[in-house]
Amino acid sequence: MLIQANIATPSTVLDFPTRDRFVRELQSRHYSIVGISGIVMNLGKVREMCRLVREHSPRSTIVVGGHVAALPGIEREIDADHIVTGEGVRWMREFLGEAADTPIEHPLIRSSFGFRLMGLKAPSGGGDPAATIIPSVGCPMGCNFCATSAFFGGKGRFINFFETGEELFRVMCDAERRLRVQTFFVMDENFLLYKKRALELLALMQQHNKSWSMFVFSSANALRKYTTRQLVELGVSWVWMGLESKQATYMKLRNSDTQALTRELQSHGIHVQGSTIIGLEHHTPDNLESEIEHAVAHDADCHQFMLYTPVPGTPLYAEALSAGLLRNDVDIADIHGQDKFNFHHPHISQDASNTWLERAFARDYAVNGPSLYRIMRTTFAGWKRYGEDADARVRARFARDAAKFRGGYGAALWAMERYLTDSQPEVAARMRDLRRAIEREFAGLTPLIDGAAGRVLLYAARREAAKYPAGRRLEPATFVDHRGLFPRRPGPFGPGVIGR
């Protein structure tokens, strides 16, 4: 999308196509260039797509980009004409002979679709639709395992699409108006690290009375550059933070007490998505239990556990390769950190890696309960603290969040409480306490209403669990966007780029 919005050449974005849809697109128009982007584990799909292009559109030039391009030796694995690593807008502009240095146009991107809640379809974004904004790519912290940092230059490097807070503000105003949103999913590896831009944005939000919410990725050291008040006024309502491990030596975690930081953020209504690594070099069967307990004690709103994974292109991959530690029995499609190790760990076997990973998720759920409950708890804490704040922008944002308690949160709590009464009575009791506190807080919200709507949700959740015991398989919908005029087949061979 970003490339399409920044080239004058007519083009099509075809996102998440099925095989048939991709072939149909190739057969329907003359494409001089077919660009395919993918992540590393999608190598097989990219290979097949290249083959399909050669078969159905043999005069097209094939350009492959995205993280898959970082695979060593990929040029021998797929039949492409150009393989592009790093930022793609500039590359494509230059390739097409267009001006490479013109300012970046930000496309309108909705951040989610197909939202479901406890087995039922829910309104977009759970009633809080968001726009995706991409201020920068890459991250200068350069953690050894980080594929996105490595892909855009590694340690000390990143690429800003929007240098100033004012540029970003204009992009956000445009998305607010055209997509009718007040919430932004800021897709930037470490948005808060660039403090000057963030504070410029805050000043403009204050000046123009914008009561926006932001979901951001941020390292602990970046968060600590701000006062909590600044984060609240900036509208930061979700933070994805790498917790990694209590013994981790990453610079971003130096002198950080991530448990205290998580509690502090949550008490101000800022939701925390924690991310913990299983299988770091120092992990052994003797210390992993306590590492998991440390992670679980954060009681983050959501918690991701990921296997330590040498992903091609990262410093960790280079180290593992030179030390002869990479396994050659792992399918590339399984190198995503949610299955088993793709390297020889000094203390943990490959099979045990999966057992530890699943144990971490299960332990977090057993102790802390469903994320939906934790999210509500933080939302309620934010409302209690800022519902009557002196700043009208802040008040409005927390009032918007609190409105969800009238729009289904209470019923969801009622249903979760019943769902877990037998299996997790302690967690169910905490939910009951929260539900009752919410019902006391919001006049007109009665246990009767929660119970009535809650019964529907409880039935839907049980039906979903019975029907899909291993979880429902979710596939993103195909997205297509044709821009500019270019000839349909049959006709003269003309310009045109097809993406994804």
By the criterion CB under 6 A, which residues form the site for ligand SF4?
139, 141-143, 146, 149, 189-190, 219, 242, 252
Q: How far is the CB of 241 from ligand SF4 (least distance, A)?
A: 9
Spatial separation of the C-alpha atoms in residues 255 and 257, rounded to whole Å: 7
Taking the least distance from each CB to ligand SF4, the nearer of 242 and 499 is 242
Q: How far is the CB of 193 from ligand SF4 (least distance, A)?
A: 8
Taking the least distance from each CB to ligand SF4, the nearer of 170 and 224 is 224
Q: How far is the CB of 323 from ligand SF4 (least distance, A)?
A: 21
Tokens of 327: 């396994």
Taking the least distance from each CB to ligand SF4, the nearer of 141 and 292 is 141
Taking the least distance from each CB to ligand SF4, the nearer of 98 and 257 is 257
Taking the least distance from each CB to ligand SF4, the nearer of 189 and 301 is 189
Asked whether the beta carbons of 341 and 274 are under 8 A apart, the reply is no
Q: How far is the CB of 486 from ligand SF4 (least distance, A)?
A: 38
Tokens of 268: 């101000």
Write the secondary structure of the chain as one string of H (helix), E (strand) and C (coil).
CCCHHHCCCCEEEEECCCHHHHHHHHHHECCCEEEEECCHHHHHHHHHHHHHHHHHCCCCEEEEECHHHHCCCHHHHCCCCEECCCCHHHHHHHHCCCCCCCCCCCCCCECCCCCEECCEECCHHHHCCEEEECCEECCCCCCCCCHHHHHCCCCCCCEECCCCHHHHHHHHHHHHHHHCCCEEEECCCCHHHCHHHHHHHHHHHHHCCCCCEEEEECCHHHHCCCCHHHHHHHCEEEEEEEEECCCCCCHHHCCCCHHHHHHHHHHCCCEEEEEEEECCCCCCCCCHHHHHHHHHCCCCCEEEEEECCCCCCCHHHHHHHHCCCECCCCCHHHCCCCCCCCECCCCCCHHHHHHHHHHHHHHHHHHHCCHHHHHHHHHHHHHHHHCCCCCHHHHHHHHHHHHHHHHHHHHHHHHHHHHHCCCCHHHHHHHHHHHHHHHHHCCCCCHHHHHHHHHHHHHHHHHHHHHCCCCCCCCCCCEEEEECCCCECCCCCCCCEEEC
Q: How far is the CB of 335 from ligand SF4 (least distance, A)?
A: 17
Spatial separation of the C-alpha atoms in residues 462 and 303, rounded to whole Å: 23
Q: How far is the CB of 160 from ligand SF4 (least distance, A)?
A: 15
Nearest one of 263, 282, 265, 268 to 222, comparing CA atoms: 265
Q: How far is the CB of 63 from ligand SF4 (least distance, A)?
A: 26
Q: How far is the CB of 257 from ligand SF4 (least distance, A)?
A: 17
Judge residue 298's burial from the number of C-beta atoms within 10 Å of its C-beta, 0-12 exposed, 13-18 middle, 19 or more buried: buried
Taking the least distance from each CB to ligand SF4, the nearer of 52 and 187 is 187
Q: How far is the CB of 337 from ligand SF4 (least distance, A)?
A: 12
Q: How far is the CB of 29 from ligand SF4 (least distance, A)?
A: 38
Q: Strands of 497-499's sheet, edge to edge?
A: 82-83, 61-65, 33-37, 497-499, 11-15, 479-483
Q: How far is the CB of 215 from ligand SF4 (least distance, A)?
A: 15
Taking the least distance from each CB to ligand SF4, the nearer of 95 and 191 is 191
Taking the least distance from each CB to ligand SF4, the nearer of 165 and 242 is 242
Taking the least distance from each CB to ligand SF4, the nearer of 12 and 273 is 273
Taking the least distance from each CB to ligand SF4, the nearer of 282 and 488 is 282
Taking the least distance from each CB to ligand SF4, the nearer of 2 and 248 is 248
Taking the least distance from each CB to ligand SF4, the nearer of 280 and 402 is 280
Q: How far is the CB of 141 from ligand SF4 (least distance, A)?
A: 4
